[in-house]
Structure 1
């Protein structure tokens, strides 16, 4: 759709058959994290410490679910 592949990585809105339209903000294509929202929007990022990022997100999500229940 509208994207840039340059010196600092990938940035923009892409489109593919399996995922449809999705946003990418990634400098490293080997450690990607797919974020899928409740509205089915997909964002792909590449945090420096992928596993720490995922652990933190899961912890925050668990805390939010505990508050709801």
Structure 2
């Protein structure tokens, strides 16, 4: 492990996170996540939206 400079080395929070994922992989992951979230999760999980009640979701839209 590589400690951060000028910090106490006994504290686990003072160590930086090390990622093995490339920058291109991280970018691709964010793009896929944002597309899935917008297209799938928001539509499927309507009952969890703020100010919406479950009965309306079970019955369907007006």
TM-score over 0.5 for the pair: no
Q: Which has the higher contact order (CA 8 A, sep 6+)?
A: 1
Give the TM-score, by structure 1 length.
Answer: 0.30
Q: Which has the larger strand fraction?
A: 1
Q: Which has the larger radius of gyration?
A: 2
Q: Which has the larger helix fraction?
A: 2
